[in-house]
Chain A
Amino acid sequence: MLFVLFPGFGRAESVLYGVGGDFKGFDPVDAGDVESADQVGRVYEGLLEYAYLDRPYHVIPRLAEALPEVSADGLTYTFKIKKGIRFPDDPCFPGGKGREVTAQDFVYSFLRTLNPRLQSQGDWIFVNHVRGAQEWVDRVSSSKDPVNYDAPFPGFVATDRYTLQVNLAKPYPQLLWVLTMQYAFVVPREAVEFYGKDFRNHPVGTGPFRLKAWRRNYRIEYERNPFFSGQTFPANTDPEFQADVGKPLPLVDRIIEYDIREYYTTWQMFLGGQLYSAGINKDYFEKVISPQLELSGDLARRGIRLQKSPLLNTYYLGFNMLDPVVGGMSEPRKKLRQAFASALNVKKYCEVLTNNRSTPATSPIPPGVAGHEPKPYPHAYDLERAKRLLAEAGYPGGKDAKGKQLRLTMIMPGAGSTDARQAADFYAEQLRAIGVELEVQMLTGAEYLRREHEGETQIFWAGWVIDYPDAQNVLQLFYGPNKCPGVNATNYQNPEFDKLYEHVVSMADSPERTALYAKMADIVVEDCPWALMTYPLAYGLFQPWFQNYKQHAFPYANWKYFKVLPH
């Protein structure tokens, strides 16, 4: 009965029904979280994008004609922009007619990301790298005048209508990666000025879809953007993706998403065929997936497919290196941290708390990123070793010289959710086995972030979702000068590591750089500011009528490739 009531069924158009969440609207400069990035990626585009089907990940031109020309010193990147790309018709343009995208639009959009008054979460992609960026930010920040986007800016120069030059202060080999990110998407100045504060609710982009209706906290609907220009399904060698090669994108007419908070509602609706995909909750796993990690009978018979693939994330427990008990680089402290890591039965954790939807981590650099070496984690679970190291650290049996039991506190986000509660319980139990009492504090996201950034922690649970497939993005978390309130939340500082880091950041991709990445990872593993936990796997169930899906670590622009068969 329910199914009939949902609109859109039984029509000839192809519609993709899914689940979305809370997000911040459609201003690319604000799309710092995964959900916002995902929504923004449907309506806006940038110069470059990831090649959807290829692995390892690499970038291809999207609004650029081709990959940029790079000067010999690696400081100037010249992009040719495709001719004939149009912003869609919208009341914000004179006469309501959309216009062609030019190099100046990119200069404007990039400067918006830098603009401190917009409080973008993406300024880091340019600020320390692009020539004159820091000065520009400081100037805007200290003046009260309106921001002048037209004044010449040395970093971004539109040399003619279709040519954009990006000038760097120092080599920045990650530039091509970050230009695929939402912060570098192109927006029309007319729309920003016309809609003002409401710009985030009125996307005017060149992307494959445009916003049709949006009811916050409830439902969002996109339709095909008639002004989307010239892209077809890429030629490839994978037999699964041959059906649509050469067909114009996007392949679905509409996307409709519901904001569902309770997992089992999602599950009911997926089983009813109302949603194209559903994740699998830990508690449902056993019923859905056989012990061989295959789909169990009923779902398999309905043609529902299971896709699993690694994500490029690393979960870990971080130690605050400034803490008087667990921090510091002295030998006993290091042993204490190593003992802690060795006491965690991560394999059991993967099995019990994630139903093997993750694997034990062995290096801060996740597999699939250059620099990750397939070798065992030296502090893997070993209860005897943990006890021995603990004794060597000065806490035999978990007690200090005065016989007082060692008591540690750890913070994690996800206040009070069932999953967090069960995980907390698991950690405490593991540490009890070596005589250490661990108090796990579950905080709201806000409180957690604040304490992590202010260094007000002893041990903290954390995960790093990689921004682009380059180990530098993870290794920056160990660079001394990035310490709290920066990204280096452990306050780890090792002069040897810092020197290597300063050296590698300006190196282009090469076997030497990969070797250095691996070496840096080894230093970190030895010093143990992180007790490594897991690499998560993405597990999703998909309806038989949902096609062309390939798991991607940076999936925000992939909506145009998906297809829905009549069903």
Chain B
Amino acid sequence: MRYVKLPNENFDEFFNSLKNWGKVYAPVKQGNIYTFKNVEKLSEVSLNYTRTMLPPKKFFVKPRDEMLRLKDSRWEKCGEAEKTVLFGVHSCDIHGLQILDKVYLDEPADPYYKERRENSIIIGISCMPDEYCFCKSLGTDFAMSGFDLFLHELPDGWLVRVGSVRGHEISWANEELFEEVSEDDLKNFRAFEERRAKAFKKKLNKEGLADMLDLAYDSPVWKKYEKICLGCGNCNMVCPTCRCYEVCDKWINAYEAVRERRYDSCFMVSHGLVAGGHNFRPTRLDRFRHRYYCKNYFDPEAGFNCVGCGRCDEFCPAKIEHVKVLDEVREALE
């Protein structure tokens, strides 16, 4: 992997050059939350944001996504992919996108997702954990792939890792903005990573998690949380790896309609409903437990469906904490 240095005085120019590659979206503060928005100037970007409410998933599987349009009694495919630059994506979210890739790009690939993914550039940025982060426990605190460029904070600029052919193209096009990486820069990079590793307050005990959940199907802890959980689905909406969607048809006028998909949540009663009226998860207890099994257990070989971003904790009205629930389930077994 190629490493280059972007000195602070060139940062502005580098950022502006990204517009040549597509429409630039970056984390922006809006009230008390952060959101990926189209930005024109570097000064609009919150470089040290914690996490956006909706993960960058929203650019590839849109919250509301028009798939087909009924016109003159014919269905037409909609959704043009525009050239997009996602600037300032955290490592956990890059891992989240890679988990979604497995789902949406495996044959048969989702054409909407695929087209958008191919037309986007991902520029990662280093971060410091807050009280919700536990990506370190899941190994998603550092991205080795899934990005074009990754910026690591240095005292006097950024250490840039080049992670793809397109990343090389961007760095070649801006060759005059970059410098060689010095020994000091590497030292600073390592010091930052060490400081970061020590800053994690939350830790998920992964040891034997799949076996543990196998034994804990009837755990009293699920019953306890069934009473606390509102079943509102906020955790699903903000999750970078949740991939369920609902397809709905909507009339535009008497003869035209759109087929739209939107994020769905496994906390909805109809999520487990199948033809014939059987529901696989009729109670909130079933649905609450299901989410933990889905995130941690279903296919241990394929890895976790959780990247430790902490969004479900931050946006849960009932303040349910993912790690705490799993810890309690474990304790109840011992």
Please say whether chains A and B are actual partners in one complex: no
Identify the A interface with B (CB < 8 A).
none
Identify the B interface with A (CB < 8 A).
none
